[in-house]
Amino acid sequence: MATSQQPEPTPDAVTATSLPNFLLSVKLKYVKLGYHYLISHGMYLLLTPIIVAVSIHISTLTTRDMVYLWDQLRFNLVTVSLCSALLVFLATLYFMSRPRKVYLVDFSAYKPEDARIVTREIFMDRSTRAGTFTQENLAFQKKILERSGLGQKTYFPEAVLQVPPNPCMAEARKEAEMVMYGAIDDLLAKTGLKAKDIGILIVNCSLFCPTPSLSSMIVNRYKLRGNIMSYNLGGMGCSAGLIAIDLAKQLLQVNPNSYALVVSMENITLNWYFGNNRSMLVSNCLFRMGGAAVLLSNRSSDRRRSKYQLIHTVRTHKGADDRCYNCVFQEEDENKKIGVALSKDLMAVAGEALKTNITTLGPLVLPMSEQLLFFATLVARKVFQMKIKPYIPDFKLAFEHFCIHAGGRAVLDELEKNLDLSDWHMEPSRMTLNRFGNTSSSSLWYELAYSEAKGRIRKGDRAWQIAFGSGFKCNSAVWKALRTINPAKEKNPWTDEIDDFPVHVPKIEKISS
């Protein structure tokens, strides 16, 4: 592929580059977009107070009032007809404009067998034995690993662990089947759902798109029904998991009484880079094997057994900007070896996308007091050119739990600082990065599973999932817990070892170079 070469990053550049301050250059149009979402999706909220007020007033009427009202109306057929028609119209408008509620019945994050564990020593051993990396680039990878935040128990597929490595289509399919079927089997066992009841299937995997598709592999394995609506999302990066959730939400709005199965994963086998372009070697050090399966429903009868309700999804796409579009790019290096190049601009681009997404989401989730303070200072700075310090909204007032894509330690550090989050809030993301590595779009579900295993999820809690990926995209999903999650009754990848976490992760500056 004839594309320009990305500048090679150093280990310090990968781990120490700062995100831009989210709120120093907030654009009013993104705030306006958030309020547009609020109004366009909240029309039924305006009708609810009217219906409630009328119902309360009617409940206060006595028998004498009802008799008097009947005497007044029975001689006026036109008034009765108009009132009845108005009530029917308002009731119809209310029920037709109200979006269907989408419930997360349950989810499952796949945990590979112990034979797939890759420690830092095993990683370096396999990299050395591959015989394709220079000594300088072996040292480079070692430094990246030391600064990455990954622990000693992440997972690689069998093909990469073999000596010599055996990247081929058959092994890639084997990895995909292991991850997808493992997650789905566990999910079906948890929910007791029959495969034939699934009406919508969405699979997202960015770098592995075989024929037949991954979604067809699932249809074949579980003998799903012939009229199932299946979708296979490819090339959409680490944020594709929330894109799949948003697509499922849209489909559930127009297909009543349906179940949607969302499967998120990435494939390592055919995407381990064997060249010496440093901008491509970073991916080798960060990405690991993993996947998740999520069952969504719009059936009101499923509310009682569901874990969460989907409240909001907000999607941001910066692909119109060339710098954003090119910052994560799959291409061939000078020796025709395919890899994913990460630009030095990645952190800055991620910051801009996150800032846009957060600014749009703010009006939907922040308390009115926070919105007024933020909006007042924003108008004063942008409109009246007043030199005042920007007000940073406290998103901890909107969410109890934060699931931030475990893409790397540097991004997590900067988000913690910019959003003023505590170590407790960042713990699920940091521990997921440490235990499972960057599992791409499925990392958010390992993080939510961590909070469940710790017994942190209480009824009414709100969880914010936020992910970003190539393109460049940033997407958010907001969930509300419908019940308190009892970790003693749950089984997830953390169950057997949750007492070992959190673990201490040394600061970057304390690691010798």
Residue 438 among the catalytic residues: yes
Q: Which pLDDT belongs to residue 386?
A: 84
pTM score, two decimals? 0.85
**How is residue 316 annotated by DSSP?**
E
DSSP-assigned beta bridge partners for residue 265: 291
Alpha-carbon torsion (250, 255, 259, 260), positive or negative: negative
Q: What is the mean pLDDT of residues 14-29?
A: 52
pLDDT tens per residue across span 458-476: 999 999 999 999 999 999 9
Query: How far is residue 497 CA from its own chain's centroid?
Result: 24
pLDDT in tens, 64-99: 777 777 776 666 667 767 777 887 877 777 666 678
pLDDT tens figures, 371-381: 888 778 878 87
pLDDT tier at 211 (50, 70, 90 boundaries)? very high
Q: How many CB atoms are located within 10 Å of the residue 378 CB? A: 18
Looking at the chain, the number of H-run helices and the number of E-run strands are 18, 13
Reported as a single tens digit per residue, the pLDDT across 98-113 is 789 999 999 999 999 9
Instruction: Please identify which of the residues 166, 255, 257, 317 carries the catalytic annotation.
Output: 317
Q: Which of 182, 175, 225 is nearest to 200 (CA)?
A: 225
pLDDT over 60 at 41, yes or no: no
Given the residues 271, 277, 298, 438, the one annotated as active site? 438
**How far is 255 from 260, CA to CA, in rounded Å?**
10
Tokens representing residue 25 in the block? 């250059």
Mean pLDDT of 5-27: 50
The one catalytic residue among 277, 285, 401, 425: 401
Give 237: exposed, middle or buried? Use CB within 10 Å, 0-12, 13-18, 19+: buried
Q: Which amino acid is at 31?
A: V
Q: Which contiguous run of DSSP H or E holds residue 135? A: helix 135-148
Instruction: Report whether pLDDT(506) > 90.
Output: no
Q: Strand, coil or helix: what is 461?
A: coil
Active-site hit among 204, 232, 238, 357:
238
Q: Give the pLDDT band of residue 504 (cuts 50, 70, 90).
A: confident
Class of domain 103-364+394-500: alpha beta
- Cα–Cα distance for residue pair 205/215, rounded to 1 Å: 10
**pLDDT value at residue 15:** 43
Does the pLDDT of residue 511 top 50, yes or no?
no
Distance, in Å, from the CA atom of 164 to the CA atom of 357, rounded to the nearest integer, reads 44
d(CA 504, CA 501): 9
Lowest mean pLDDT among 13-22, 175-184, 262-271, 355-364: 13-22
Q: Give yes or no: 474 in active site.
A: no
Q: Which of 346, 484, 469, 476 is nearest to 403 (CA)?
A: 476
Say if residue 248's pLDDT is above 70: yes
Lowest-confidence region among 272-281, 285-294, 402-411, 498-507: 498-507
57 is catalytic: no
317 catalytic residue (yes or no) = yes
| Domain residue ranges in the chain | 103-364+394-500
Q: Which of 205, 271, 285, 405 is catalytic?
A: 405
Tell me which of 364 and 247 has the higher pLDDT. Answer: 247
Q: Measured between alpha carbons, how far is 464 from 442 in angstroms, rounded to an integer?
A: 15
